[in-house]
Amino acid sequence: VLQNLSQTPVLRELLKEAKMPGTTVKIESPELCMEPQLVKLDQPGPLTLAMHQFVTEMQETKKGVVTPKELFAQVCKKAIRFKGYQQQDSHELLRYLLDGMRTEE
């Protein structure tokens, strides 16, 4: 799930822009033929910042192994069910991660 998210261009652009609060971002999707949307970004929360850090590390070519330790810690704060290191479905992680970042808006 995290590898797929790190390769999502729109998400990468939004996370890059999220570092600068008050920025207005224009989202265009030529594949979906939708009207461009303008999104005003507020101060990013800790989960969004951890996701930005993880995606940035994934994009670095010189980096060897990338460990999502901080991102996982932030997900656990939002969804306690992940704290015990028990097996979870990837779609649950995706849901909690995206919902958590959305609630920080």
pLDDT tens sequence across 51-90: 999 998 888 867 678 888 999 899 888 888 777 777 778 8
Q: State residue 105's pLDDT score.
A: 65
Contact 41, 22 (CB under 8 A): yes
Q: State residue 30's pLDDT score.
A: 64
Domain extent, residue 6, equals: 1-103
Give the span between the Cα atoms of 68 and 2, in whole angstroms: 9
How many structural domains are present in the chain? 1
State the alpha helices, DSSP H only, in the chain: 2-6, 9-18, 46-59, 69-78, 90-103
Give the predicted TM-score (pTM) of the model: 0.76
In terms of residues, how long is the chain? 105
- Give me the percent of the chain exceeding a pLDDT of 90: 10
